[in-house]
Amino acid sequence: MNRIVSRTRLSDEVYKVEIEAPQIARERKAGQFVIIQTDVEWGERIPLTIADADPHRGTITIIFQTVGVSTHKLALLEPGDSLEAVLGPLGNPTHIERFGRAVCVGGGIGVAPLHPIAQALKQAGNHLTVIVGARTKDLVILEDEMRAVADELIIVTDDGTYGRKALVTEPLKELCQGDNKPDIVVAIGPPIMMKFCAESTRPFGVKTLASLNTIMIDGTGMCGGCRVSIGGATKFVCVDGPEFDAHQVDWDGMMTRLRAYKGIEDEAHKEFHEGGCRLDSLAEAARAEALGARTDGGSR
Amino acid sequence: MNGGNTTDLASQARALLADIEQKTLTNKDRMALPVQDMPCQEPAVRAHNMDEVALGYTEAQARIEAARCLQCKNAPCVAGCPVSIDIPGFVGLVAKGDYQGAATVIHRTNLLPAICGRVCPQEKQCQAPCTLGKALKGVDRAVQIGRLERFVADRERAAGGAPMPHVQPQTGKRVAVIGSGPAGLTVAADVRRDGHEVVIFEAFQKPGGVMVYGIPEFRLPKAIVREEAAKLERMGVRFELNTLVGRTVPLAELLQEEGFDAAFIGVGAGLPKFMDIPGENLVGVFSANEYLTRANLMRAWDRERAATPIYPSKRVAVLGGGNVAMDSARMALRLGADEVHVLYRRTREEMPARAEEVGHAQEEGVVFDFLASPTEVLGSDKGIVTGLRVMSYRLGEPDASGRRSPVAIDGSEHDVAFDTVIVAVGNESNPLLAKTTPGLAVDKKGHVLVDEHQKTALDGVWAGGDIVLGAATVILAMGEGRRAAAAINAYLKGK
């Protein structure tokens, strides 16, 4: 059992939860994820990227968006409550080295898993630019944390309510066109955003990594549900990833697979709310969809 | 085959038993006794529920079946058993009605008879060399050893379970068992009996490995696996669930820093193979591991209560001919599919699945398309499975393994409509532990290399089960576990 130490609501539908998990806190590295179950009898296995960890306190932090029944149930847990299962750290850590100029691009909730990678890249001596994108001002998360680590922070919103009115791909393209072309780009966010980040950097030959959050059950290589085509070869996100060369990912195939259970899930989500959900964030499925599935995961 | 109307079987057996109890049976009499069919749920009923298919022998049936045994002095059946159960010994006691005595004999070498009696491929093991079967010219006419084993184990469970094995006084030595499948549970029990402290590390939320995530409820009730794990706990074995050795904690750390004197690796095969044909990443294509894990471990068959969804399937194709293919096909029926086809490149004779499972699947309405294998998964413009392009085969000359190899028939490709494809063509080794454990020697397929005592290249580390054998069976994993446990106990004695 893993006790919940604290819970903070970062925006309407985004929560930050700190969980006791001493072994995971000690072993985890930037880029790795955990699988969480609120209930081991009937609950889903929810893959969530580790946003932060404190080995001394023996805790890890996850940041997630409530887009389905399982993440809603997770958000309902209070400090002092326990999760019935937390498995991890899973996946390969991000390969960190001194590349030179690094650009981290985070969209929506994707900023959370990006933060430890940004920190590690900075610590390795890279010049770090961070682009944070959100649909609207209220959905911008971890601004202060990113500002603390980045040499340069660019904030964009779709509706222009905060920062520049643009998609993340616009400043990214400008950076690629400039005199100081990035040596590495790491993009984490909704699949469609990562796809267009890859398309933005491709003409400039800038190495670009994306962290994928596909449907998975076990997270240890056993089910193959997370498979994705990388440069024409089938790879498992859980054991071969979660990070891959964004220029090699079959984005359209991946997005199709992410929608496999959409009908069933929308139905379950609707029932959950009609049954009287305590959370006031009655985010419509469409809205959740716009932000992408990132960190909802769910074994789906 | 193998099934029968429960009431008829029971009353026929009662009458026959009353008759034979009056006389001393000669071998000729024994050979004339009818093979006792397994009472089963009616196929039309069971295809729509998750309850166990085979209901188990009645007492009279067990007595008659046991009376068929010729008590051969050379006992060829024992040599066919991976854990060398004294088969004539326990069967002889069943014939006399001493079921507790029979259970004691089985427990000497097999800790999990309720499981083995249900899932062992007896027709390829103990029942294959049976003298009676050979005399009657059919392995299906051999003494039904597995059914008798199950009868004895179930009877004992109903009477309150097996007596707790005696545990020696604490030695102060500690053993880490990685994986809680059949190999790991066997090692844990044997090592704990010698007085060593045992901790089992399991990545999933429940113990049992393939017996929980893979083998369905209708073939192996999960209550049995739970009981076995609970028994180990009562013996003092500790389970660390949700712990992936190699990620949560490196194996080397367990040995060097956490004070374990020895470790056993029994992590299973655990990496599904695909066919490597176009269209395999379309929505609606699943590995059998994924499909069965959703249905079994995550209990997605209970749509009301389980949060994990399962794909709504109407026309299902299962690719492969092993037990996992049978389990997938039968599960798909139970989850509401209208039509389930098993596609296999050879014929029924070459199928690796247990004969009983194939028979059960056929009775339940699974369609077998033999000499057929897909060359492509077809999909809609939305990326969703619409069918298979299927090639027909004929059997050619026997290959190196002695099996006649399938030869594709040119121009035979044809399209068949399906909405779901389940790939059950086996597993490869999960590379995680080898990757994170320096010095652990593996072959090029990733199987952990061991000596005749299951010892790996690393000091103090043994391995067994599917991670050594490749995808095999529950009982072979248990056999390896027993061998490893004996070696670990000997090693710790000298340490």
Name the residue among B270, B283, B299 with its Cβ closest to that of A42. Answer: B299
Closest CB to B290 among A39, A87, A224: A224
Q: Is the peptide bond before A55 cis (omega within 30 degrees of 0)?
A: no
Question: What's the CA gap between A118 and A30, in Å, rounded?
Answer: 9
The DSSP code sequence of B37-49 is: PPPB--HHHHTT-
Q: Which of B283, B286, B291, B385 to mutate to test the interface with A (most CBs of A within 10 A)?
A: B283
Residues of chain B with pLDDT under 70: 1-4
For residues A156 and A140, give the distance between their C-alpha atoms in angstroms, rounded to a whole number: 9
CA A82 to chain centre: 23
Name the CATH code of domain B174-270+429-494 (choices 3.50.50.60, 3.40.50.720, 3.40.50.20, 3.40.50.620): 3.50.50.60
Chain A residues with CB-CB distance to B383 below 8 A:
252-253, 256-257
Three-class DSSP category at B15: helix
Q: Which residue of B has its CA nearest to A41?
A: B298
Compute the nearest-CA separation of B472 from chain A (Å): 16
**Separation in Å, CA A28 to CA A211, A298, B202, B267:** 16, 21, 19, 22
CB atoms inside a 10 Å sphere around CB A279: 17
CA distance B386 to chain A (A): 14
Biggest alpha carbon–alpha carbon distance for chain A? 56
Residue A261 confidence (pLDDT): 84
Contact A103, A114 (CB under 8 A): no
Mutate to test the interface with B, among A60, A71, A218 (most CBs of B within 10 A): A218
Q: Give the DSSP H/E element, type plus range, for residue A107.
A: strand A101-107
Q: Break chain B into its structural domains and give their ranges.
A: 6-158, 174-270+429-494, 272-426
Contact state of A43 with B307 under an 8 Å Cβ cutoff: yes
Alpha carbon distance B347, A70 (integer Å): 45
Closest chain B residue to A235 measured between Cα atoms? B281
Interface check A220 vs B, CB under 8 A: yes
Q: Which residue of B has its CA nearest to A42?
A: B306
Domain range B272-426, CATH architecture? 3-Layer(bba) Sandwich (3.50)
Nearest chain A residue to B253 by CA distance is A27
Contact yes or no for A217 and B293 at CB 8 A = yes
Partners of residue B311 in chain A, C-beta under 8 Å? 260-261
Do B6-158 and B272-426 come out as alike in CATH topology?
no
Closest CA to B293 of A216, A267, A46: A216
Q: Is the CB of A87 less than 8 angstroms away from the CB of B281?
A: no
Contact B272 A223 (CB under 8 A): yes
Residue B379 CB partners (closer than 8 Å, separation 6+): B279, B282, B283, B284, B385, B386
Distance CA A276, CA A2 (A): 27
Question: What's the pLDDT at B397?
Answer: 87
Residue found by looking up tokens 């007492």 in the block? B59
CATH hierarchy code of domain B6-158: 1.10.1060.10
Q: Cβ contact (<8 Å) for B293 and A300?
A: no
Quick check: helix, strand or coil at residue A201? Answer: helix
Numbered residues of chain B with Cβ closer than 8 Å to any chain A Cβ: 203-206, 213, 241-244, 247-249, 270-272, 274, 280-284, 286-287, 289-290, 293-294, 298-299, 302, 305-309, 311-312, 382-384, 430-432
Q: Which residues of chain A have pLDDT under 70?
A: 272-300
pLDDT at site B495: 81
Q: Tokens for B390, please give them.
A: 């299927």
CB of A27 within 8 Å of a chain B CB? The answer is yes
Q: Does A177 touch chain B (CB under 8 A)?
A: no
Q: Is A130 helix (H, G, I), strand (E, B) or coil?
A: strand
Does A217 contact B290 at a Cβ distance shorter than 8 Å? yes
What pLDDT is stored for residue A263 in this prediction? 73
**Among the partner residues A42, A222, A260, nearest to B311 by beta-carbon distance:** A260
- Backbone phi, psi, residue B437, to 5°: -125, 95
Nearest to A115 by CA among A5, A211, A254, A250: A211
